[in-house]
């Protein structure tokens, strides 16, 4: 079979292992794997690269994606869906694997329902916010990087007797911030799923400071401070949250309310790069392999999912459009883990 593969949306560590899994499983079936460059943009423009073994030989430990990615939404272009489908046929592809988060998989689902295009999805996102799968690759590595940053902030915060704030990504959900804060032993966390109570937070930080003479706070970029959202949106309509700068607002408020010197660090895209962790490597490879299996089983319109420790599949229509928010079970733990 001639299988196209593309990566859409934000990059993350684990994409290259997934591409490697796809290629290696394809070899078992003598498939040809055609990389589509820069996400849906590449399909709109027929920009491809036939993958060879030498392309994937040494990519296991490389962050990002060898295929490139973009936030291009073909459905925002005139006749974009149809162009994608026509190009898919012109390229002689038998099926397409779309690796991405909710936006990319949403487009894959639409192409499947509008044109019966033989697509299969592989979930990825550092935000870990896809409801159909327990874990997505990218998350473990980005949280590991954020914890590393937090440990460094602890060193300087302790030396200068300061409160240190780390703003992390995660979009509308707080998985990245919460796991960074718990995993890094922070003193407080602000996530979109919980109301921001500045007074309560500052009282808590004053107590922590009395004890340790420093404190660490993790702030998710997506928290709602009741201010109007400003700034640009991407082609899928998402506000570019980093530009909102909630970390700065929180940092200024803490300093004003506690009288303690406070500094902010925004990890930003640093947490999207770097060599994938073991977890993300294995999940990437496993999901890539499964996608090729789904194609050979003719299970189109489906996406790979990790459910428990099993690699399973669900229909794309079930899997997209539902954000997985931090649930009560975790929120109930917050008072226990931050003392």
List residues near ligand F6P by CB under 6 A. 10, 71, 101, 125-127, 169-171, 221, 234, 240-241, 272
102 is catalytic: no
The least distance separating ligand F6P from the CB of residue 303, rounded to whole angstroms, comes to: 17
Tokens 């079930």, located at residue? 318
User: Can you tell me the distance from the alpha carbon of 232 to that of 173, in angstroms, rounded to the nearest whole number?
Assistant: 19
Cα torsion 301, 141, 54, 40: sign: positive
Instruction: Report the first-to-last Cα separation within the chain, whole angstroms.
Output: 57
Of 201, 130, 123, the closest CA to residue 171 belongs to: 130
In the sheet with 302-307, reading across from the earlier edge strand, the strands are: 48-50, 32-36, 2-7, 95-100, 119-123, 302-307, 310-315
Q: How far apart are CA 316 and CA 294, in angstroms?
A: 13
Q: Would you say 209 or 236 has its CB closer to ligand F6P?
A: 236
The least CB distance from residue 251 to ligand F6P, in Å, is: 19
Q: How far is the CB of 139 from ligand F6P (least distance, A)?
A: 10
Q: Return the number of the residue (125 or 287) whose C-beta is nearest ligand F6P.
A: 125
Q: Which is nearer to ligand F6P, 86 or 234 (CB)?
A: 234
Taking the complex as a whole, how short is the minimal distance between the CB of residue 48 and ligand F6P, in angstroms? 23
> Nearest to ligand F6P by Cβ — which residue?
169
- Which of 103, 127, 129, 313 does the annotation list as catalytic? 127
**In this complex, which beta carbon is closest to ligand F6P, that of residue 170 or of residue 319?**
170
Which residues on neighbouring strands pair with residue 124, listed in sequence order? 137
In whole angstroms, give the CA distance from residue 36 to residue 99.
11
Write out the catalytic residue numbers. Answer: 127
């Amino acid at each position: 079979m001639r299988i196209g593969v593309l990566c859409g949306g934000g990059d993350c560590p684990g994409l290259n292992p997934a591409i490697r899994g796809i290629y290696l499983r394809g070899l078992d079936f003598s498939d040809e794997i055609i990389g589509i460059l820069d996400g849906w943009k590449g399909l709109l423009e027929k920009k491809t690269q036939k993958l060879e073994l030498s392309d994937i030989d040494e990519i296991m430990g490389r962050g990002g994606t060898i295929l490139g990615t973009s936030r291009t939404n073909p459905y925002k272009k005139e006749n974009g869906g149809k162009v994608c489908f026509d190009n898919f046929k012109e390229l002689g592809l038998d099926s397409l694997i779309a690796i991405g988060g909710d936006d990319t998989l949403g487009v894959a689902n639409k192409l499947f329902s509008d044109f019966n295009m033989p697509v299969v999805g592989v979930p990825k996102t550092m935000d870990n916010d896809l409801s159909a799968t327990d874990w997505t690759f990218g998350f473990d590595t980005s949280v590991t990087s954020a914890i590393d940053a937090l440990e460094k902030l602890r060193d300087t915060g302790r030396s200068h007797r300061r409160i240190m704030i780390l703003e992390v990504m995660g979009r509308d959900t707080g998985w990245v911030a919460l796991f960074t804060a718990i995993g890094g032993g922070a003193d407080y966390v602000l996530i979109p799923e919980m109301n921001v109570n500045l007074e309560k937070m500052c009282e808590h930080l004053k107590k922590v400071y009395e004890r340790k003479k420093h404190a660490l706070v993790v702030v998710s970029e997506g928290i709602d401070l009741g201010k109007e959202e400003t700034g640009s949106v991407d082609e899928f309509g998402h506000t570019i949250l980093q530009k909102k700068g909630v970390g700065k607002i929180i940092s200024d408020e803490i300093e004003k309310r506690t009288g303690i010197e406070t500094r902010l660090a925004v990890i930003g895209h640093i947490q999207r790069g770097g060599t994938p962790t073991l977890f993300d490597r294995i999940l990437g490879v496993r999901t890539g392999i499964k996608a090729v299996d789904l194609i050979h089983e003719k299970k189109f319109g489906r996406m790979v999912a990790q459910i428990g420790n099993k690699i399973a599949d669900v229909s794309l229509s079930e899997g997209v459009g539902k954000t997985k928010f931090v649930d009560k079970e975790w929120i109930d733990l917050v008072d226990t883990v931050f003392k």
